[in-house]
Amino acid sequence: MGNEMTEAFGAKIDRDVIPLPSTASQGTPKRGIKLYSRLFAFIVAVTLLSRGYLFSSAGEKVVSVQKEYCAQPEPLVPTKNAATYNELDDTFGASEFKDRAIDWLSGAIRVPTETFDDLDEVGADPRWDVFGPFHEYLLKAFPVIHSTLKLTKINTYGLLYEWPGSDESLKPFILLAHQDVVPVAPQTVDEWTHPPFSGFYDGERIWGRGASDDKSGLIGTLAAVELLLEQGFEPSRSVFMAFGFDEECGGRRGAGNIGKLLLDTYGEDYFAMLVDEGGGYTEQFGAVFATPGVAEKGSITIRMEIDSPGGHSSVPPPHTSIGMLASLIVALEEQPYTASLSRDDLLYTDYQCFAEHGKDLDASLKALVKSSVTDDDALKELEDHVFASNKFHKASSGTTTAVDIIGGGVKSNALPEQAFVIVNHRISTKSNASETMSGDAERALPIAEKFNLTLEAFGKAVSDPAAPAYGKLVLGSADQAFLDPAPVTPFSSDSNPYRLLSGTIKAAHAAHADEDIIVAPGMPSGNTDTRFYWDLTPHIFRYNHRNSGSATDTGGGLAAGVHTVNENIEADDFVEIIRFFTTLILNVDEAEDI
């Protein structure tokens, strides 16, 4: 009867926690009595299920068996701050405000703030000086903020704004963004529809580097605060804004120093919640899904080097250092880290949401998702389908390996004495950097043995360094830098900050769209400045409230031009970013349960 009950109630019954009442009796009952017993047991079970629990044969109450997959809150609209919200809601629909928003973002794009991987420290490298004019622009663009809020500059160019609240018993709220943008390759400038630092508005889109990543987030945040100040709003809960300036090259000098200052000043768990750049919303399976990031993969970049004797190219060995390195690269790519779909994956949670709310989801796929809740074979079948249909989903579920840079040799008639490769791993949330380093060493050892090389991995000798060898293979160093996966932000329906964020997303979307929006936990593909704030709050969210649909030749969502040519954003989308941050600040301000 357990299986029939499970089918009757869909995937919302956890078979592992249902000790169904026994209908067995001594001997062989008559057919009528047997049917009656089964019917009676079924009715009892249905009654108990409707109340959310069952009893064991000993009368012990067991865990609730009714599960809510992808439960959705109602749109959350400010009540205490309703007057301010309604006034600004009217403002967002006015053409005059749209023009103002366009001017804010276009002006920010026109101040180039590129950062590079080879930058020296602040004060030692003049390329940091580009942030001086950007700060001057912010001062002019947002005069009320700069005449009202406290601003602290950290490591010269990091910006920390503090907006004190009237109730010191409430934990503050913090919003993050970054000032820097990825460089525009000089050889690609002619490929841009409009110049990369023009901030050109074509009547629909604002064009330029940073339009999406992440000046729209930074300017959207400041715009929301400027508008609230203009309305005379005075927060009960303190609001912080923290803007690093080197997120695109690691964040150490900007957010790294801001996070340390906050931790040293206020201590751990100081903030109620944090929101930074991250996932947006997109239409999938006939519904609109928003996916605020509640996790981040880890990362590690490893230099792998082979040293071997040099000599004249006229008398080559069977394998030069470059040839041996090629074998190592092949071994790394032919032995990828295994990706798997488990029930505690965020991706699996997303598919539960697709099955519950996707209007156009194939019926067989929906049934497979529901069956996979308790059926391991169905889970494996779902994994095969998901990974085969979407390479991004497979990449998000496992540790990835990317061979990004290679070098070696100095002259065509000289044997290369050294060759190296740079390998980047994005580490699964189910793994860590230590496991990844061990995995690389395991893959490298057979290569070292094949070519009679000593192997050193991350400062430790794997093979006997004193043994006779043709050369050596070195992976990383003893002080190898890495980032383990981020702590996962609580995202169940019992998490008040997640519920508040979800309700705010729904309210902001409903203010300009007819269709409902479904909120599901997500994970951005890259890392953000939030890595420097882990100790300051467990409630970290990575979310850009805008359409993140697939890119097209002329644009179309967050993917359009990010880190490449023709970066842009729809002006209407930017207005919605400002609406979202305004609604979020007001909702957080009056929340009593975060």
* The pLDDT value given to residue 40: 43
Q: What are the domain boundaries of the chain? A: 2-50, 99-280+526-570, 298-483
Centre a 10 Å sphere on the Cβ of residue 361 and count the other Cβ atoms it contains: 19
527: which 2 tokens? 């890392």
20: which 2 tokens? 């169904």
Centre a 10 Å sphere on the Cβ of residue 222 and count the other Cβ atoms it contains: 25
* The pLDDT value given to residue 526: 85
For the chain, the first-to-last Cα distance in angstroms comes to 43
* Chain center to CA of 467: 46
Q: How many angstroms separate the CA atoms of 223 and 203, rounded?
A: 21
Same fold yes or no, 99-280+526-570 and 298-483: no
* The pLDDT value given to residue 562: 84
563 is in an annotated binding site: yes
Q: Are 272 and 174 in contact (CB under 8 A)?
A: no
Centre a 10 Å sphere on the Cβ of residue 137 and count the other Cβ atoms it contains: 16
506: which 2 tokens? 């729904």
Sign of CA dihedral 550, 499, 535, 439: negative
276 is in an annotated binding site: yes
Q: How many angstroms separate the CA atoms of 541 and 588, rounded?
A: 14
Q: Which residues pair with 420 in a beta bridge?
A: 305, 407
Q: Taking the CA of residue 308 as centre, how many other CA atoms within 13 Å lie in the half-sphere pointing to its CB?
A: 25
Centre a 10 Å sphere on the Cβ of residue 310 and count the other Cβ atoms it contains: 15
248 is in an annotated binding site: yes
Residue type, 313: S
Integer angstrom CA distances of residue 460 from 177, 464, 584: 39, 10, 50
The CATH number given to 99-280+526-570 is 3.40.630.10
Residue whose C-alpha is closest to residue 223's, from 344, 388, 103: 103
Host H or E run for residue 301: strand 298-307
* The pLDDT value given to residue 560: 61
Give the residue numbers marked as catalytic. Answer: 180, 247
The CATH number given to 298-483 is 3.30.70.360
Question: Mean pLDDT of successive 10-residue segments in the chain (594 residues)?
Answer: 30 30 35 41 40 37 48 96 96 97 98 96 98 98 98 98 98 98 95 97 97 96 98 98 97 98 98 96 94 97 97 96 98 96 95 95 95 97 95 93 96 97 96 98 98 97 91 96 96 95 97 93 92 98 85 41 90 97 98 95
* The pLDDT value given to residue 69: 81
Name residues whose C-beta falls within 8 Å of residue 326's C-beta, 6 or more positions apart in sequence.
Answer: none
Q: Are 536 and 268 in contact (CB under 8 A)?
A: yes
